[in-house]
Amino acid sequence: MWHDVLRDPRLYALLSRYDEDWAEQVRGGGCPACGGRLHRADYPRKSRGAAATLERGYEVRRSFCCAAPECRRRRTPESVRFLGRRVYLGAVVLLGSALALGLSARRVAALREQLGVDRRTLMRWRQWWQESFVASGFWRIARGAFVPAVVTDALPAALLERFTAADPCVRVLQILTWLAPLSIAGSRAAAAAG
């Protein structure tokens, strides 16, 4: 099922709309430091791993900077498309890692063909979920919301079981929304997650 979700263009369109809504909210709020207007100052981003054709603009991470010359503070909204600074899309890191549980040569070959992900990359993602993520302040706080407790050895697949939307694309959106604090480089959650 998750292979199909990665090929579903609806997923990427849904994530893009969500990011655009967040970006407009941030822009409308103005500069948190001085109250000045925010101008667009987007980052170019790679969008590796998409198994579907992406809509235009997917290679940009929305960001803003204050228009006041004495301020110029940057404000980057949370994202459901990008998980931190990784070059692969957040949905690919999430679902690719879940699909990589119990890696076999056949499964690695399938993931490599579908997503262009090398075995070493899959292993780094698994290591991040198993070590850095579970040691993060974000997880130490957030795991309390799950009863019974999430089996950390099964992350991130265990998260896919805990979010319950009937539509798999919406379920991925729910998880990536929950993980969104990790998408901002300067946030406490991202710093704690490494």
Per-residue pLDDT tens over the stretch 8-62: 999 999 999 999 999 999 999 999 999 999 999 999 988 888 877 888 888 899 9
How confident is the model at residue 87, as a pLDDT?
A: 87
Is residue 12, in this structure, part of any structural domain at all? Answer: yes
Is residue 181, in this structure, part of any structural domain at all? Answer: yes
3-class state of residue 66 by DSSP: strand
Is residue 53, in this structure, part of any structural domain at all? Answer: yes
Strand partners, 60: 44
Element (H, E) at 65: strand 64-66
For the whole model, what pTM was predicted?
0.89
Distances in Å between the Cα of 117 and the Cα atoms of 87, 94, 150, 156, 176 are 11, 13, 26, 17, 20
pLDDT digits (tens, 9 = 90+) for 155-186: 999 999 999 999 999 999 999 999 999 998 65
Residue 6 burial by Cβ neighbours in a 10 Å radius (0-12, 13-18, 19+): buried
Q: Are 112 and 118 in contact (CB under 8 A)?
A: yes
Q: Which domain holds residue 67?
A: 2-189
Is residue 77, in this structure, part of any structural domain at all? Answer: yes
Is residue 10, in this structure, part of any structural domain at all? Answer: yes
pLDDT digits (tens, 9 = 90+) for 141-160: 999 999 999 999 999 999 99
pLDDT digits (tens, 9 = 90+) for 63-88: 999 999 999 999 999 999 999 888 89
Is residue 194, in this structure, part of any structural domain at all? Answer: no
Is residue 114, in this structure, part of any structural domain at all? Answer: yes
Q: Is the pLDDT of residue 188 over 60?
A: no
Total structural domains in the chain? 1
Which residue is it, tokens 């998750």?
Answer: 2
For residue 148, is the peptide bond before it cis, meaning its omega torsion is within 30 degrees of 0?
Answer: yes
CA distance 194 to 144: 20
Mean pLDDT, the chain, whole residue set: 89
How confident is the model at residue 185, as a pLDDT?
A: 65
